[in-house]
Chain A
Amino acid sequence: MIEQIPSFSRAAALLHGADVGRGPAPAGTGEAEVSPPSNDGDSPSGAAPSTPIDGVGGVADPRHDTDSKFRAALTAIDDAGVVDIVRVHEQPARAGAFGDWPAAMDPRLRQALTARFGPRPYAHQAEALEAVDAGRDIVLATSTASGKSLCFQAPIVAATLADPSTRALMMFPTKALARDQVESLRGLVDALPNGPTVGVGPYDGDTPPDQRRAARSRAHAIATNPDMLHRGILPHHERWATFLAGLRYIVLDELHTYRGLFGSHVANVLRRLWRVCAHYGARPQVIACSATIGNPGELAERLCPWIPGRGSLHVIDRDTAPAGARTFVVANPRVVDETTGVRRDYLKVTRAVASQLMNRDVTTLVFCRTRKNVELLTRYLRDDDASHRVAGPAARAPSPQGRGIEELRGVDGVRPCDRVAAQRAAAKAIRGYRGGYLPDRRREIERALREGEAKIVASTNALELGMDIGGVDAVVLSGYPGTRAATLQRAGRAGRRGRPAMAICVLSSTPLDQFVANEPGFLFGQAPEQARVDPDNPEVFLPHLRCAAHELPMKTGDTLPGIAAEDTAMALGYLAEHGSLHAESVAEGESHFHALGPSPAEGIDLRGSVEENFAVIDPTGDILAEVDFEDAPLYLHPGAIYTIEGRPHEVLALDWEARKASVKRVTADYYTEAVSKLRVRVVDPESSLEGVAPPAEPASGTGYAHLVRKVPGFKKIRLGTHENIGFGPVALPDLELHTTAAFWGLPHEAASQLTSPERRATAALAAAHAIQHVAAMMLMCDVGDLGHAVTAGHPGAWGMALTPQRRPGVIAEMDAGGVPHIVLYDRTPGGAGLATAAHALGPDFFQRVVGVVAGCACAGGCPTCMGPQADAAESYASGGAGGSSAAVRRQDVLDVLRALGGAQERAL
């Protein structure tokens, strides 16, 4: 629904023409280049929305101020002629709805809540508190900054005031969030009028031993993360006996992050927690908070499998917090070359858009897709800001005839001292934020944002979660975030209490982004995506069952929530047979033990990471940043420029064994980009292919996959222009991934119908894309938990992974008679049983894939159903066959999928 607000009517009206267009926005948006109307300037009386907004005082009406800044920035962006504004989505301001504090609430708590949050709760908060009071498990799925924390903080404090022996366990996906919430809850406790104190503390890997003891013995509420619960608390539950016996609430914040394989692990950790709680006689209530996703209730029930049995889940997704008007602008970089269809670089366009907001003093968060873009953008925006600052005074005090003074100012008429001052100011106002920065730096940036010192922060999705950063006015999304849920979540970061907010999404030229530009209904017409977990994946469940047996022996009839006792018995029998558990007959049946050596939890990483991070070290020995293990060859090879908040450092040496990279500060006008090659091979453990004649018909099967990523060299790319100015070699170990995979060979008949190797490769790649996505959907994992590749030739031979960026090699091999094989592999080291499970689904699976591709709402194949190479196919088709290229494309993919399904059918 689009609703206009008077102040935006002009912009919306002139942009509306571009809104409906499918395909590249017509160049005719030139009509939009209208000079600002004269009456647009200062007419607050007429322009102000009439909707009353609660919580905003009448002082100088900041709404209008922000509103006019947005308008000016949008006009300037539009006038700059670098983007087509393809869509403006308006959401009117909304008045809040209020409820009352529960009648039975402790007056001390009510006083503290009133002091901190205002006299009355929002209606959804009141509903939540009431449901918790009634003993129900709840899940809140309301927008960012709608006061979700209150809904678990208040019950925790209330319960502790009523009975000091009650305890609460708050789980957050990151340590930083946990610390943030500890501070927040302490703030509420401090506001209690000299009542009994409520002890709150973090309990994670960074907590020193004495504080750990204090947390165990004295804290009423602890804030931890799933990894610590898994490795630090449950295996030592006896030390937590008092805490667990008194456990009243389990708080699960940012529930939507527990999805895919990670979520499946977390669900099993929670199963173990529930079992241990039962041992101590506790039956805690669940208070879960989620960002807006399609299925918050279902996700909560899957993560806490005991809830369906209790039948008590109460889902609250009606957001009643007041909100200012929101504007969502979709901007598509203009085509610069009509013949090739090349568009402006979206990063440069992001820079231009953010600069416009920056120049108007609009506090802005810029979400980038990659860490590299964060660094580049930070640097560019600082440059822009510095020149804007020096341009200001210079423009005000021109020296028309002072040639001598001009000389003092240097070539561009700026005195060096002014320039330095401007650069310093820009470095304070513009910050970068991403993973890899040390916690102290992150806290400092968050503080700068909260206190208004930082005006623009370029960030990865690291700032997407609920860190307290105060409010920002605008959000710029540099590239479509990939899902509607993530788009909503990031855009929701804009907007202070009741003030207008704006989000501008600058699309890249990738097919997916262009699809978003062309499908108006895609972004706003559909519900956010669902979060999927599969706690019953045997490969995930069995290791956690071992942990459970370690925590408390599994006796006959013992099980984990959501699993039938006989299934558990079968799994236990299997583990005992394989020597993972020890079984003993007892009077009541059988007991299974794990009692040797350290807890099996030590060997199970919830996030699938196995290797230590690399430390980035400056010449004085200080650690500057951390880099994930598998990223080190890409970013820390000798000669690489490693940038921290826009400041370039050159990597002098990389000590692979010690996981250390030595860097020194440099002034470089270029950045580096590593080239990487991924090769895939499926190794079938059962049948050796050596010396065996190739089978008559390409087969399908499962096996171990061996992936090798090699970084042969790196490119030097000039800042600003992004031109390639050099190349260097990299000599580092290859990274290997051993995992499990499924493969399907394309039957000869289907292959022969696809006449050219290019067409075969393209269709196979599109089919592999669809297979991966449908597999993720059916197996309830994250799309990123799986990977796909197309290899030429038989499994067992090395094949270059066919990716949109790297196709020629494979095509050449296919030319030489190779048969495309689609490989679907687990991205977790050692595998997680996903690809093999997809293969075991057999012909039904392919029916499902065919159904999804055939049933996609697009006209003739889009990035959703056919993957990002849809455009590559298009360029091929238009250059080669001509005619109705889209229909041919989709038909090819469907033919491939049907042929694979048919082969599965025959195999049965």
Chain B
Amino acid sequence: MNFGTRLSLMRPAARTSTQAEADARPSDATAAPTLEPPTRPTQRDSGLPSFSQRLRAATGRAAEPAPPAAASDPIRTSAPIPPPAPRRALVASKPAPASADKGFVHAQLALPLEAVARPNLLGGAVDSVRIPDAVALAESLDAVATLPPDGLPSHCPAVLLDLETTGLSRDAGCVPFMVGLAWHEGSALVVHQWILSRLSSEAAMLREVAAVLRGPYLSRAAIVTYNGASFDIPLLRTRFVRHRLARPGAPTAVDGRPHFDLLVAARRLWKGRAPDCRLSTLERLQLSVQRRGDIHGSEIAEVYWRWIREPTDPWAQAQLDTIKAHNQVDLVSLAGLAAAIGTRLTRPRGLVEIFRAADHHARQQRPTRALTILRPALDALNPTPSPRSGARQTPQTIQTLQSVALLAADLLRKAGEHDRAASLWAWVCRGNPGDPDAHDRLAKHLEHRLRDPSAALSVAARSISPCPRRLARLTRKVEASGAAPVTFHAALARSG
């Protein structure tokens, strides 16, 4: 039996290609007509054995009519090619479950918020992680995105969620075999894990998970994930629908509450500053987590597959315990990272972080917060820095300062503070001659707000990629008004 194991390099010449074009190739030029017997048999009486017989023959199963006896011929007769030997001898089917076996396990583990007497996970990986308390977590989430009007419940603002699955493609065979949830209970973060020991019990397990999520304690809690927006949450939704725990399109247990995907905020803060933005990388850099004896994500599905078929295999059992610990560390790291992100977004350190945090807030449609964050950086710009003061700064710093100025100017303009915005644009134009954004915006400001086409023209013309239509229009306006030309520096001065 050959299940699509494609040994070959050559495709049959007469097969249709992907364009389904059965172009006759030279070898087919002599193709003969279909040979048909005088009386056409219908397909059903073509002389083939029954499907059962063929299946038996192909699968090497004993058939009721005895198979053709093996002849003494040294070369094999009549029997089809035997299937390749099975990779591993396996029991055909798991034994029927004991009555108490639900087919899944619910385990929990309490982690004190203080970094003392924590259970040992992956060589003490989380021993030193600062786990935020409920209030701190809520504050951090507030920094990440806008909370609902009535806020988050104070006893338990959020559920941290992380799945381990049998695949990464989110297709029909991608089973969330381990659901990890973590939430605050008093002075501890409690990690709850549901582990599927029989694939047929997935529905029951998900029903229990859904019930917990919808229960009184968690019903209003937000969900926090890492990359959950494109993986964990949609996967859970489809699994809920598959097991008829929800109707297609209807809200499920993970809907109807805020969802914070920390990957988005983490990318805003650390993209380009960290080697990558995977949770395992950021936990190491931001939380000093050191995992020992962890399992790599790409091996998890394989190990689980082994365990579910050979649950008594000691190696597989040990590996499954590692997956459990992996999932627990992921959840604790997630909590720690939420706090770290919250801190960085509210109290950024250094100019770059200030810009990144403000940029995040601006993209979250929170301009006031963004401007508040930017204020110390803006103060560094004022009073108008002379080229000399800039000379002491590194080129990177200057570039960041200009980004800060442009971001702030944008926010100020939207807030109606056009003059302050104009002075920032002018500042960038001085420091970075030709900057297209700054020149463009400033020219618009001069043309439409201050109605000074001469100044606008001289600013617009200095851009490295001036808009030809604007230049033409401004030239016309200047000619029509007969205003005198304005030098670039005079124009900047008029802008403040």
Does chain A bind chain B? yes
Interface size, chain B (Cβ < 8 Å): 102
A845 to B55, CA, bound (A): 19
Q: List 5 A-B contacts (CB under 8 A).
A: A585-B93, A702-B78, A703-B76, A782-B14, A784-B22
Complex contacts, A828 vs chain B, CB 8 Å: 12, 15
**A570, B55: Cβ atoms closer than 8 Å:** yes
Interface of chain B, main secondary structure:
loop
Fill in one digit per residue for A176-220: 1 if any B CB lies within 8 Å of its CB, else 0: 100000000000000000000000000000000000000000000
- In the complex, A883 Cα to B469 Cα: how many Å? 94
In the complex, the chain A residue whose C-beta lies closest to that of B17 is A628
| Docked CA distance A782–B13 (Å) | 13
- Distance (whole angstroms) from the CB of B4 to the closest CB of chain A: 4
**Cα–Cα, bound, A611→B71 (Å):** 40
Instruction: Rank and list the top 9 A-B pairs by shortest CB-CB distance, nearest first.
Output: A827-B12, A784-B14, A829-B8, A773-B35, A538-B58, A435-B21, A238-B238, A868-B30, A583-B93
- CB of B37 within 8 A of CB of A867, answer no
Select one of B7, B49, B52, B200 contacting A553, CB under 8 A. Answer: B200
Which segment, of B253-261, B270-278, B302-310, faces chain A? B302-310
Q: Which of B8, B34, B69, B78 contacts A483 (CB 8 A)?
A: B34
A590 proximal to B (CB < 8 A): yes
Instruction: Determine whether the beta carbon of A245 is less than 8 Å from that of B26.
Output: no
Chain B positions within 8 Å of A543 at CB level: 3-4
Whether A370 lies near B29 (C-beta < 8 A) is yes
Known contacts A604-B4, A699-B74; is-contact A536 B9 (Cβ 8 Å): no
Nearest-CB distance from A444 to chain B (Å)?
A: 16
Asked if B200 and A586 sit within 8 Å, CB to CB, the answer is yes
Residues of A within 8 A of B17 (CB): 435, 607, 609, 628
Q: Is the CB of B8 within 8 A of A738?
A: yes
Q: How many residues does chain A have at the interface if contact means C-beta atoms less than 8 Å apart?
A: 165
Residues of B contacting A461 in the complex (Cβ-Cβ under 8 angstroms) = 21-24
Residue A648, interface by CB 8 Å: no
User: A562 to nearest B CB, angstroms?
Assistant: 9
Contacts of B1 in A (CB 8 A): 539, 542, 578
Instruction: Give the chain B neighbours of A64 by CB distance below 8 A.
Output: none
Among B76, B97, B174, B249, contact of A701 (Cβ-Cβ < 8 Å) = B76
**Bound CA–CA A413/B355 (angstroms):** 78
Given A582-B308, A584-B198, CB of A829 within 8 Å of CB of B11 = yes
Distance between Cα atoms of A262 and B14 in the complex (Å) = 11
Q: Is the pair A235, B32 in contact by a Cβ cutoff of 8 Å?
A: no
**A538 engages B55 (CB within 8 Å):** yes
Chain B 151-169 interface residues, beta-carbon cutoff 8 Å to A: 166-167, 169
| Residues A542 and B30 in contact in the complex (CB < 8 Å), given A570-B52, A687-B74 | no
Smallest CB gap from B5: residue in A:
A830
Contact of B248 with A908 in the complex, beta carbons under 8 Å: no
* Residue A857 CB within 8 A of the other chain: yes
A530 within 8 A of B: yes
When the two chains form their complex, are residues B14 and A827 in contact, meaning their CB atoms are under 8 A apart?
A: yes
Shortest Cβ gap from A802 to chain B (Å): 14
Nearest residue (CB) in B for A262 is B16
The answer for the CA separation of A371 and B239 in the assembled complex, in Å, is 49
B347 within 8 A of A: no
Task: Identify whether the interface residues of A are mostly helix, strand, loop, or mixed.
Answer: mixed
- B231-243 vs A: 1/0 string, CB under 8 Å? 0000000110110
B48 partner residues in chain A, CB cutoff 8 A:
534, 778-780, 837, 841
Q: A369-B29, A435-B23 are in contact. Are A907 and B77 (CB under 8 A)?
A: yes
Given contacts A591-B200, A778-B46, 7 further A-B contacts (CB under 8 A): A241-B248, A515-B33, A551-B172, A598-B171, A611-B9, A707-B10, A784-B15
Q: Is A174 touching B11 in the complex (CB atoms < 8 A)?
A: no
Binary contact track A100-144/B, C-beta < 8 Å → 1, others 0: 000000000000000000000000000000000000000000000
Find chain A residues with CB under 8 A from B200 CB. Answer: 553, 584, 586, 591, 593
* B80: interface (CB < 8 Å): yes
Q: Which residues of A contact B87 (CB under 8 A)?
A: 578-579
Which residues of chain A from 540 to 576 have any CB-CB distance to chain B below 8 Å in the complex?
541-543, 546, 550-553, 563-564, 566-567, 570-571, 573-574, 576
> Residue B54 contacts which of A536, A577, A611 (CB distance < 8 angstroms)?
A536
Contacts of B6 in A (CB 8 A): 603, 605, 610, 829-830
Within the assembled complex, what's the spacing in Å between the Cα atoms of A314 and B49? 29
Q: Which of A235, A703, A738 is in CB contact (< 8 Å) with B7?
A: A738
Contacts of B64 in A (CB 8 A): none
Of A369, A630, A684, which is within 8 A of B11 by CB? A630
B57 interface contact, C-beta 8 A:
yes
The residues of A that contact B392 with a CB separation of less than 8 Å are none
CB distance A460 to B309 under 8 Å?
A: no
- Residue numbers in A under 8 Å from B26 (CB-CB): 370, 372
Q: Is A889 an interface residue (CB 8 A)?
A: no
Across the interface, which residues of A come within 8 angstroms of B241, CB to CB?
A: 238, 241
**B58's contact among A609, A686, A695, A833, by CB below 8 Å, is which?**
A833
B12 contacts A687, CB within 8 Å?
A: no
B151–chain A nearest beta-carbon distance, Å: 33
- Is B43 within 8 A of A780, CB to CB? yes
The contact string, 1 if C-beta is below 8 Å from chain B, for chain A 823-846, is 000011111010011011110110
Give the residues in chain B near A530, CB-CB below 8 Å: 36, 40, 43
CB distance from B71 to the nearest CB of A (A): 5
Query: Residues of B contacting A685 with CB < 8 Å?
Result: 81-82
Which residues of A sit under 8 angstroms from B71, Cβ to Cβ?
Answer: 907-908
A783 to B174, CA, bound (A): 39
Q: CA A571 – CA B47 in complex, angstroms?
A: 22
Q: Mark A796-820, 1 if CB is under 8 A from B, else 0.
A: 0000000110000000000000000
| Interface residue from B10, B19, B34, B46 paired with A630 (Cβ < 8 Å) | B10
How far apart are the CA atoms of A837 and B51 in the complex, in Å? Answer: 12
B68 on the interface (CB 8 Å rule)?
yes
B47 and A701: CB pair below 8 A? no
Given known A585-B97, A597-B167, A603-B4, contact A855–B90 (CB-CB < 8 A) = no
> Closest Cβ of chain B: how far from A102's Cβ, in Å?
31
Interface digits, A692-730 against B, CB 8 Å rule (1 contact, 0 not)? Answer: 100100011111100101000000000000000000000
Residues of B near A236 (CB, < 8 A) are 170-172
Given contacts A238-B242, A586-B200, contact A773 B32 (CB under 8 A): yes
Task: Tell me if B73 is interfacial: C-beta within 8 Å of chain A.
Answer: yes
Distance, CA A239 to CA B7, complexed state (A):
33
Q: How far does the alpha carbon of A578 sit from the alpha carbon of B19 in the complex, in Å? A: 35
Contacts of A574 in B (CB 8 A): 55, 59, 61
